[in-house]
């Protein structure tokens, strides 16, 4: 078209874009490290399924329409990438064709056909998106001008491209192709027009305007398309649409820990860390770069808050705002953080690099440091440290950036993470911030003190004497590991199952089942201690490590290999977190174990349970460990009636409100989460609700009591239903 104009546009457009990206990248690099470059194949698989396949958008039944809408816009853009390259080429060379996409191969034809239909689909989808935002107004969405502006640009891109083709066809077919425009033509596959019905349609719309107008429209649309595209590209990094660029890398770099990045085992013996206050996260620079990328990538779609039990019950935890606030803090401090990052690199390199290289790093980046001494000069080190400290943001994250109530409202249920289309991990960040609050700032809800003290002294949050831990098993004929360490399984009872009167009945039922199936098992008895789950979720890494160390020592002493856990929180900690500290066991939750017993015929159920029944998925069994089918299979073998699912079940089940240490805190703001859940169960008109977690049992039962429904809707653990219906 016009190589000169094209060059100017490209140079200006790309230069601005690269500058923005360079800055954003530097900012990420100034944050804490995270290693995310292992298991490349798994990572690519994630990209294919989650990002390219748009799994969390199209796979979500509740919102299939908007999911499909987004997926098609995304896929449309992917398809159009090739077309764009062609257009840029066209700017320089008339009739430019990418290799393999010309008329010589079927690929060229297939591509133009696909591009043609995709443009129509994207246009329809963009129309639907505008309609949805403007008319339907789903609550979770933030209606901003930015969203409309981007949708507008998408519409312009599609229409302009269709008109480029349309006018080109008109000039070729109606006006004898005066400019010798190029089009695909091959005796075998025919001419281009046969493959592009939508562009042909567009052509007919403007055919009447005449040769001159068609020529003008063609040129106009071409430059409009290019300019819009470059504007679009430069607009993306400025707001929530940055996700168009960052989503794929964000999914690729997502933590491969299951189900999310595990809390780091902090080195609590590191005196310097205590002095520098670098344990946990209290300032923005303490986030790692992947958490920074998460913040860049948030699409502001609001799916997370919509499923968040805290948000739904009016707690001041709105993940959208949470991300926004962190993003502002990050960007507001960007200049200082980047300088800080460079200093930090210099500090790490100190001693391994020569002074001259170090000088170059620092002088080139115009930092206020002059290096006069050689390697590992402690004074210089202190100097760098002090300068770094001076560059820290003055804001503490909790208090200045987000409120304490926000941080402590989270039940760590992971519903937000499960729905986030771009795999943002909220919970590890929340736990790290809680660590900062608990370890460094001593600013955690003081109501936790009783439970924490109980844990420290007697190994259980109730603070009941540790010597009473096995009292529940009196007279049941249960052995302890001390009595017989050669059993096949260790039954991990947990604190609730040992001390809470209601849960003790569940433990008794479980014992009955195991005995009925002639399983060789024992308990640790008074040697068992809380796994430390709750301490870790409230950021008390010190107490967690204490509990974990003592338990691992006991378990390893007895050479325990297989554990049946009667609580999903214990299950998750034993299975997924103890390996970090040298505790490696085969851990199975009682629902899985019982299901195995039923399937292998070691216990026989007589499907005699009367009344309708539903199941409440515990977060730490479901979302944390993907155990969804086994409990359902057991319940279907016990109950005469088919299991009725709750509205929110499986991956999108709704928390009972007890996780993340919330069990030990009062719920004073908003509606009670357990009541919200109990109401949902009541709406389902069932006679029974089954659970598989002692905390869910307490919370749901309390919720039912609050609603005066405890007599009409019975809450029981799966064990109890099985024990009562065993042959």
Partner 1 sequence: MKILTTVKKVVDVELNIHVKDGAIVEDGLQYVINAWDENAVEAAVQLKENNSAETTLVSIGGGDNTDMIRKCYAMGIENGIHIEDPALANADSSAYAKVLQKVYEKDDYDLIITGKQAQDTDSGQTGIILGEYLGLPCVSNVISIEVMDDQHIKVSRLGDTGTEILEMELPAVVTVSDSINEPRLPAMRGIMMAKKKKINVMDLAALGTSAEEVGAGAPQSEIIEFMKSETRQAGQKFEGDAAQITAQVVNLLATEAKVL
Binding region for ligand SF4 (CB under 6 A): 298-304, 307-310, 317, 319-320, 323, 410-416, 419-422, 424, 426-427, 655
Residue 316 touches which member of partner 1, ligand SF4, none, C-beta under 5-8 Å by kind:
none
Q: Does residue 438 touch partner 1 according to CB under 8 A?
A: yes
Residue 39 touches which member of partner 1, ligand SF4, none, C-beta under 5-8 Å by kind:
none
Contact string (CB under 8 A) for partner 1, positions 292-311, x = contact:
--------------------
Q: How far is the CB of 323 from ligand SF4 (least distance, A)?
A: 6
Is the separation of the CB atoms in 505 and 721 below 8 Å?
no
Residue 300 touches which member of partner 1, ligand SF4, none, C-beta under 5-8 Å by kind:
ligand SF4
Q: Does residue 465 touch partner 1 according to CB under 8 A?
A: yes
Q: How far is the CB of 295 from ligand SF4 (least distance, A)?
A: 9
Q: Quote the DSSP letter at residue 257.
A: S
Q: Which is nearer to ligand SF4, 214 or 423 (CB)?
A: 423
Binding residue (CB under 8 A) for partner 1 from 467, 488, 553, 642: 467
Q: Does residue 553 touch partner 1 according to CB under 8 A?
A: no
Q: Which is nearer to ligand SF4, 321 or 706 (CB)?
A: 321
Is the separation of the CB atoms in 659 and 534 below 8 Å?
no
The backbone region for 342, taken as left when phi is positive above 0, alpha when psi lies in -120 to 50, beta otherwise, is alpha
Which range, of 41-49, 196-204, 461-469, 481-489, touches partner 1 by CB under 8 A? 461-469
Q: How far is the CB of 281 from ligand SF4 (least distance, A)?
A: 16
Instruction: Looking at residues 396 to 435 of the shown chain, list those that interact with partner 1 (rule: CB under 8 A).
Output: none
Residue 464 touches which member of partner 1, ligand SF4, none, C-beta under 5-8 Å by kind:
partner 1
Q: Does residue 666 touch partner 1 according to CB under 8 A?
A: no
Q: How far is the CB of 40 from ligand SF4 (least distance, A)?
A: 24
Q: Does residue 23 touch partner 1 according to CB under 8 A?
A: no
CB atoms within 10 A of CB 278: 17
Q: How far is the CB of 27 from ligand SF4 (least distance, A)?
A: 19
Residue 438 touches which member of ligand SF4, partner 1, none, C-beta under 5-8 Å by kind:
partner 1
Residue 410 touches which member of ligand SF4, partner 1, none, C-beta under 5-8 Å by kind:
ligand SF4
Instruction: Looking at residues 257 to 286 of the shown chain, list those that interact with partner 1 (rule: CB under 8 A).
Output: 268, 271, 274, 277
Q: Which is nearer to ligand SF4, 172 or 658 (CB)?
A: 658
Q: How far is the CB of 475 from partner 1 (least distance, A)?
A: 17
Residue 567 touches which member of partner 1, ligand SF4, none, C-beta under 5-8 Å by kind:
none
Q: Quote the DSSP letter at residue 504.
A: H
Q: How far is the CB of 644 from ligand SF4 (least distance, A)?
A: 24
Q: How far is the CB of 340 from partner 1 (least distance, A)?
A: 23
Q: Quote the DSSP letter at residue 223.
A: H
Residue 80 touches which member of partner 1, ligand SF4, none, C-beta under 5-8 Å by kind:
none
CA distance 308 to 340: 35
Binding residue (CB under 8 A) for partner 1 from 380, 480, 503, 540: 540
Which range, of 42-50, 374-382, 459-467, 556-564, touches partner 1 by CB under 8 A? 459-467
Residues sharing a CB contact under 8 Å with residue 521, sequence separation 6 or more, in sequence order = 479, 487, 488, 489, 490, 491, 514, 564
Q: Does residue 446 touch partner 1 according to CB under 8 A?
A: yes
Q: Which is nearer to ligand SF4, 282 or 653 (CB)?
A: 653
Q: Which is nearer to partner 1, 19 or 446 (CB)?
A: 446
CA distance 141 to 426: 19
Residue 298 touches which member of partner 1, ligand SF4, none, C-beta under 5-8 Å by kind:
ligand SF4
Residue 274 touches which member of ligand SF4, partner 1, none, C-beta under 5-8 Å by kind:
partner 1
Q: How far is the CB of 442 from partner 1 (least distance, A)?
A: 5
Residues pairing with 398 in the sheet: 402
CA distance 499 to 454: 12
H helices of 421-523, in order, are 427-435, 449-458, 494-499, 501-516
Burial bucket for residue 501 (CB in 10 Å: 0-12, 13-18, 19+): exposed
Q: How far is the CB of 572 from partner 1 (least distance, A)?
A: 24
Q: Which is nearer to partner 1, 139 or 442 (CB)?
A: 442
Q: How far is the CB of 140 from ligand SF4 (least distance, A)?
A: 8
Q: Does residue 468 touch partner 1 according to CB under 8 A?
A: yes
Residue 564's φ and ψ, nearest 5 degrees, are -105, 120
- DSSP E strand stretches across 583-680: 586-589, 613-615
Angle at which helix 629-638 crosses helix 590-599, to 10 degrees, equals 50
C-alpha radius of gyration, the chain, whole number: 31
Residue 449 touches which member of ligand SF4, partner 1, none, C-beta under 5-8 Å by kind:
partner 1
DSSP 290-311: HHHHHHHH-----HHHHH-HHH
CA distance 712 to 708: 9
654: closest CA among 630, 619, 624?
619
Strand order in the sheet with 613-615: 613-615, 688-691, 714-717
Residue 309 touches which member of ligand SF4, partner 1, none, C-beta under 5-8 Å by kind:
ligand SF4
Q: Which is nearer to ligand SF4, 419 or 638 (CB)?
A: 419
688: closest CA among 668, 659, 709?
709
Q: Does residue 442 touch partner 1 according to CB under 8 A?
A: yes
CA distance 653 to 414: 10
3-state secondary structure at position 521: strand
Q: Which is nearer to partner 1, 108 or 454 (CB)?
A: 454
H/E stretch holding 360: helix 355-364
Residues sharing a CB contact under 8 Å with residue 457, sequence separation 6 or more, in sequence order = 463
Our CA angle for 84, 90, 96, nearest 5°, is 100
Q: Does residue 453 touch partner 1 according to CB under 8 A?
A: yes
CA distance 31 to 317: 25
Q: How far is the CB of 694 from ligand SF4 (least distance, A)?
A: 19
510: closest CA among 572, 597, 587, 586?
597
663: closest CA among 314, 322, 413?
413
CA distance 263 to 253: 17
Residues sharing a CB contact under 8 Å with residue 697, sequence separation 6 or more, in sequence order = 502, 503, 506, 691, 715, 716, 717
**Bridge-based pairing state of the strands 185-186 and 190-191:** antiparallel
Per CB under 8 A, residues contacting partner 1 are 268, 271, 274, 277, 438-440, 442, 446, 449, 452-453, 457-458, 463-468, 526, 540, 542
């Amino acid at each position: 078209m016009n190589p000169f104009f094209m060059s100017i546009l490209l140079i200006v457009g790309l230069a601005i874009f690269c500058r923005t990206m360079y800055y954003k990248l530097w900012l990420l690099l100034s944050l804490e490290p995270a290693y995310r470059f292992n298991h490349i194949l798994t990572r690519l698989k994630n990209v294919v399924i989650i990002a390219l396949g748009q799994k969390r958008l199209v796979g979500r039944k509740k919102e299939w329409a908007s999911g499909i809408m987004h997926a098609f816009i995304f896929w449309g853009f992917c398809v159009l990438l090739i077309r764009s390259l062609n257009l840029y080429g066209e700017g320089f060379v008339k009739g430019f064709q990418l290799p393999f996409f010309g008329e010589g191969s079927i690929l060229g034809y297939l591509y133009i056909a696909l591009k043609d239909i995709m443009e129509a689909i994207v246009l329809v989808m963009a129309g639907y998106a505008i309609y949805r935002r403007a008319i339907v107004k789903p609550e979770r969405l933030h209606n901003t001008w930015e969203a409309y502006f981007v949708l507008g640009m998408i519409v312009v891109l599609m229409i302009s491209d269709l008109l480029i083709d349309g006018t080109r066809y008109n000039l070729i077919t109606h006006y004898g192709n005066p400019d010798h425009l190029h089009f695909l033509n091959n005796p075998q596959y025919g001419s281009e027009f046969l493959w592009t019905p939508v562009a042909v349609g567009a052509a007919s719309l403007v055919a009447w305007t005449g040769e001159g107008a068609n020529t003008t429209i063609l040129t106009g649309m071409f430059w409009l398309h290019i300019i819009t595209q470059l504007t679009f590209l430069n607009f993306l990094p400025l707001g929530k649409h940055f996700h168009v660029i960052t989503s794929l890398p964000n999914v690729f770099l997502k933590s491969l820990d299951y189900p999310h990045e595990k809390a780091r085992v902090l080195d609590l013996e590191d005196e310097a860390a205590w002095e520098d206050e670098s344990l946990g996260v209290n300032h923005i620079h303490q986030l790692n770069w992947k958490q920074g990328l998460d913040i860049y990538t948030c699409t502001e779609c609001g799916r997370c808050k919509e499923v968040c039990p805290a948000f739904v019950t009016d707690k001041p935890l709105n993940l959208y705002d949470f991300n926004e606030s962190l993003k502002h803090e990050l960007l507001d401090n960007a200049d200082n953080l980047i300088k800080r990052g460079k200093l930090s690199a210099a500090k790490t390199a100190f001693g391994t690099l020569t002074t001259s290289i170090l000088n170059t790093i620092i002088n080139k980046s115009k930092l206020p440091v002059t290096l006069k001494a050689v390697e590992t000069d402690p004074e210089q080190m202190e100097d760098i440290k002090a300068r770094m400290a001076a560059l820290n943001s003055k804001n503490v994250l909790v208090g200045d950036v987000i409120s304490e109530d926000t941080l402590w409202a989270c039940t760590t249920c992971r519903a937000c993470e499960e729905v986030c289309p771009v795999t943002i991990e909220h919970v590890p960040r929340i736990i790290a911030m809680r660590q900062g609050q608990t370890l460094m700032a001593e600013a955690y809800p003081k109501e936790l003190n009783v439970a924490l003290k109980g844990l420290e002294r007697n190994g259980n949050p109730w603070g009941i004497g540790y010597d009473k831990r096995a009292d529940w098993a009196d007279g049941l004929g249960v052995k302890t590991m001390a009595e017989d360490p050669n059993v096949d399984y260790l039954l991990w009872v947990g604190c609730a199952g040992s001390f809470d009167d209601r849960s003790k009945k569940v433990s008794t039922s479980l014992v009955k089942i195991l005995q009925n199936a002639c399983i060789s098992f024992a308990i640790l008895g008074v040697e068992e201690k809380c796994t430390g789950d709750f301490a870790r979720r409230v950021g008390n890494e010190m107490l967690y490590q204490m509990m974990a160390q003592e338990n691992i020592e006991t378990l390893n002493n007895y050479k325990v290999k297989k554990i049946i856990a009667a609580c999903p929180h214990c299950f998750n900690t034993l299975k997924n977190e103890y390996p970090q500290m040298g505790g490696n066991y085969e851990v199975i939750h009682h629902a899985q174990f019982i299901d195995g017993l039923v399937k292998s015929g070691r216990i026989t159920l007589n499907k005699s349970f009367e009344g309708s029944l539903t199941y409440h998925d515990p977060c730490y069994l479901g979302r944390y460990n993907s155990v969804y089918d086994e409990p359902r299979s057991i319940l279907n073998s016990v109950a005469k009636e088919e299991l009725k699912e709750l509205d929110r079940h499986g991956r999108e089940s709704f928390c009972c409100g007890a996780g993340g240490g919330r069990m030990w805190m009062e719920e004073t703001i908003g509606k009670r989460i357990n009541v919200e859940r109990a109401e949902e169960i009541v709406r389902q008109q069932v006679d029974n609700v089954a659970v598989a977690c002692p905390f869910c049992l307490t919370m749901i039962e309390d919720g039912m009591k609050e609603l005066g429904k405890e007599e009409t809707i019975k809450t029981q653990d799966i064990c109890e239903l099985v024990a009562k219906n065993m042959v």
